[in-house]
């Protein structure tokens, strides 16, 4: 095209085409077009110049975008917003902040870009500060903050902000609902999740694949498997993510056979594509069910039959299955033959098997090879030493943790009560109902002793007296949460708990007996899986 035929009306479509082709690193369409644009003297046209900024930002050329921005005679609000957004996306929050401070009159879009950028960079504190300083907020602003909190693993704070948003008169849209359901899933806030479900029904929002998947995932991660299955069955539109959410939900709740059956139905469906996440769920089901042969078949056929490459998560599930089933040497061999470097999750899967089968030698090897820096891994080895009476080993672990500056992560359990999330930390007496909780624990202890209960003190450090061991175990976070559930919830209601660490043996035994004595179902989601306690038994069959 001749230069004489180019005018300000021909640039927008050319810009759009150039930006699309500039996704290829070898392409120079956008810079060439910008050179022509400058030569023709169109730089004063803010709308088109902003198009160049957006085009460069979209293709990751932030430096070039900033050069265009700096050459503008009078950048407008769109110019600032585009540049700031380009920096939230590239992760250069510092540059975005400096530019934000130069905006003469920031719009809600500008403020929201900063909120989203800080959240994306993991700086939730700065994001929240910007959010609170906004002179006015729209629904997009609220969604950015709620979504940012969810993405940064602060689901309780996200739900609190969601409630405040409703109080201030903002009506959630589909994006808000998906974020709220994700927060409920992470926090185990079933009652709030049910409220969101009812809200969607009342507002007659369409249950498409995205909302439907979020709802299935929420119910499954709150341990309400039957509700998840009901929603799944009622959905008219399902995609791969919907099926994956259901398969993984069944697997993590211990419904291994049902998860594999759901996988077969997914294969027969024919309208969805199986992917890597699908087989994570399948292998997880095999692991939790102890289906060694089925697990091996799926693991080794994933690439051959379905053309899906194995990823770290697949190896972690397979190692977990082999280790749980006592095939520790085979699990270790699989790790050494992995085509990628094993991460801590893979090593922990083997370490968990060592704990279950009391293989101290293998556990020592694992701790050395994984270069463990997390307190949980060292504590697990210490507990294993204590369980077999090797007290020198316990002291060695203590010294190692002290020398490396590794501090034990406190156990934390949360339980939802009347729409509020209550959090308990092991040994913490700060909860306003602590006196009642303590009294309930004493009552529970008396009734459990009548059933022949003896505290499992083997995993507690050896240099404290038995009475102190029992006291320490008696104030584990899940026990505090269970006692609170008994005194604070309606009679007969299921007690649902989310825990940050793996169950200890004593607390697991405690939960089984409470479910039997008080005729209460207890659902606990620990770091590894769900435990459904009913009538003195657990869905894991003491295999976790």
pTM of the entire predicted model? 0.84
Q: Is residue 425 within a helix (H) or strand (E), and if so which, with residue range?
A: strand 420-425
Angle of helix 108-120 relative to helix 77-89, nearest 10 degrees? 10
User: Both ends of the chain: CA-CA distance in Å?
Assistant: 69
Q: The dihedral of CA 234, 235, 238, 243: what is its sign?
A: negative
Three-state DSSP at 348 gives: helix
What one-character-per-residue DSSP string does 181-214 give?
Answer: HHHHHHHT-HHHHHHHHHHHHHTT----HHHHHH
DSSP 27: -
pLDDT value of residue 489: 79
426 is a domain residue: yes
| Residue 431 within any structural domain of the chain | yes
Per-residue tokens: 491? 């009679």
Q: What's the pLDDT tens digit per position in 456-500?
A: 655 554 444 444 444 455 689 999 999 999 998 788 899 999 999
Distances (CA, A) of 539 to 416, 486, 512: 22, 21, 10
The three-class DSSP label of residue 424 is strand
What pLDDT, on a 0 to 100 scale, did the predictor assign at position 467?
Answer: 40
SS3 385: helix
Strands 522-525 and 495-499: parallel
DSSP assigned state of 3:
G
Region of 419 please: left (phi>0), alpha (psi -120 to 50) or beta: left
**Residue 390 DSSP class:** -
What pLDDT was estimated at residue 23?
Answer: 47
Tokens describing residue 358 = 């009391």
Domain interval for residue 460: 412-538
Give φ, ψ of 154 to 5 degrees: -125, 65
Q: Which residues face 499 on adjacent strands?
A: 413
Q: Is residue 59 part of a domain?
A: no
- Which of 71, 70, 53 shows the shortest CA–CA distance to 62? 53
With tokens 């820096």, the residue in question is 373
Could you say which residues of the chain have pLDDT below 50? 1, 4, 22-27, 461-471
Residues near 469 by Cβ (< 8 Å), separated by ≥ 6?
455, 457, 460
The whole-number pLDDT of residue 410 equals: 86
pLDDT at 26: 39
CA 389 to chain centre: 37
Residue whose pair of structure tokens reads 């929603």 in the numeric block: 231
Residue 77: inside a domain: no
Q: What share of the chain is helix, strand, coil (3-state, %, to 5)?
A: 65, 5, 30
> Any idea what DSSP says for residue 497?
E
Domain-located, residue 519? yes
Tell me, yes or no, whether 422 lies in a domain.
Answer: yes
Q: Residues, the chain, total?
A: 544
Report pLDDT for 543.
Answer: 76
Q: What are phi and psi of 537, to 5 degrees?
A: -125, 165
What's the farthest any 2 CA atoms get from each other in the chain? 97
> Into how many domains does the chain fold?
1
| Nearest to 181, CA basis, from 210, 202, 145, 203 | 210
Residue 526 lies in a domain: yes
For residue 116, list its beta bridge partners: none
- 283 neighbors 314 (Cβ within 8 angstroms): yes
Torsional sign, CA 148, 152, 153, 154: negative
Contacts for 99 with CB less than 8 Å, ≥ 6 apart = 80, 83, 84, 87
Q: Which of 189, 245, 77, 249 is nearest to 417 (CA)?
A: 189
Report the interhelical angle of 312-324 vs 292-306 (nearest 10°): 160
Does 309 fall in a domain?
A: no
Name the region of 91 (left: φ>0; alpha: ψ -120 to 50; beta: rest).
left
Going by C-alpha positions, the residue among 205, 223, 207 that lies closest to residue 215 is 207
**Could you say which DSSP state residue 493 is in?**
P
Predicted confidence at residue 463, as pLDDT, reads 46
CB 292 within 8 A of CB 328: no
């Amino acid at each position: 095209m001749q230069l004489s035929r180019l005018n300000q009306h021909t640039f927008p479509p050319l810009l759009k085409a150039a930006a699309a082709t500039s996704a290829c690193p070898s392409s120079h369409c956008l810079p060439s077009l910008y050179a022509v644009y400058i030569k023709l003297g169109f730089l004063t046209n803010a709308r088109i110049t902003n198009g160049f900024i957006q085009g460069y930002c979209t293709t990751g050329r932030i430096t070039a975008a900033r050069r265009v921005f700096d050459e503008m005679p009078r950048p407008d609000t769109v110019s600032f917003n585009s540049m700031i957004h380009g920096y939230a996306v590239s992760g250069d929050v510092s540059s975005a902040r400096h530019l934000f401070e130069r905006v003469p009159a920031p719009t809600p879009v500008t403020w929201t870009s900063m909120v989203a950028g800080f959240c994306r960079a993991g700086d939730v504190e700065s994001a929240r500060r910007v959010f609170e300083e906004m002179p006015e907020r729209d629904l997009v602003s609220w969604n950015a903050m709620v979504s940012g909190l969810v993405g940064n693993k602060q689901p309780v704070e996200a739900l609190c902000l969601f409630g405040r948003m409703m109080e201030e008169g903002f009506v959630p849209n589909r994006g808000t609902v998906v974020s709220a359901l994700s927060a409920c899933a992470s926090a185990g806030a079933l009652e709030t999740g049910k409220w969101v479900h009812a809200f969607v029904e009342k507002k007659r929002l369409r249950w498409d694949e995205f909302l439907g998947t979020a709802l299935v995932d929420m119910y499954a991660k709150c341990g309400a498997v039957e509700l998840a299955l009901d929603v799944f069955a009622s959905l008219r539109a399902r995609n791969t993510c919907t099926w994956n959410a259901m398969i993984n939900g069944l697997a993590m709740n211990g419904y291994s056979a049902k998860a594999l059956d759901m996988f077969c139905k997914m294969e027969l469906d024919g309208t969805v594509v199986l992917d890597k996440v699908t087989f994570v769920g399948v292998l997880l089901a095999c692991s939790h069910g102890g289906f060694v042969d089925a697990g091996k078949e799926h693991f080794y056929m994933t690439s051959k039959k379905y053309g899906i490459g194995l990823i770290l998560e697949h190896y972690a599930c397979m190692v977990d299955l082999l280790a749980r089933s006592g095939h520790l040497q085979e699990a270790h061999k699989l790790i050494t033959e992995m085509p990628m470097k094993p991460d801590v999750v893979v090593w922990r899967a083997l370490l968990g098997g060592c704990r279950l089968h009391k293989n101290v030698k293998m556990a020592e090897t694992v701790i050395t090879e994984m270069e463990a820096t997390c307190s949980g891994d060292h504590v697990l080895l210490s507990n294993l030493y204590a369980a077999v009476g090797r007290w020198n080993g316990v002291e060695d672990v203590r010294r190692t943790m002290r020398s490396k500056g590794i501090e034990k992560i406190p156990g934390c359990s949360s339980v939802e009560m009347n729409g509020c999330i209550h959090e308990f930390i092991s040994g913490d007496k700060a909860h306003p109902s602590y006196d009642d909780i303590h009294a309930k624990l004493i009552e529970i202890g008396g009734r459990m002793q009548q059933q022949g209960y003896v505290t499992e003190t083997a995993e507690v450090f050896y240099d404290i007296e038995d009475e102190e061991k029992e006291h320490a175990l008696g104030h584990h976070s899940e026990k505090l949460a269970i006692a609170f559930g008994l005194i604070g919830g309606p009679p007969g209601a299921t007690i649902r708990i989310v825990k940050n660490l793996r169950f200890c043996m004593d607390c697991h035994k405690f939960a089984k007996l409470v479910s039997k004595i008080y005729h209460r179902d207890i659902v606990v989601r620990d770091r590894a899986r769900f435990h459904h306690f009913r009538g003195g038994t657990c869905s894991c069959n003491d295999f976790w």
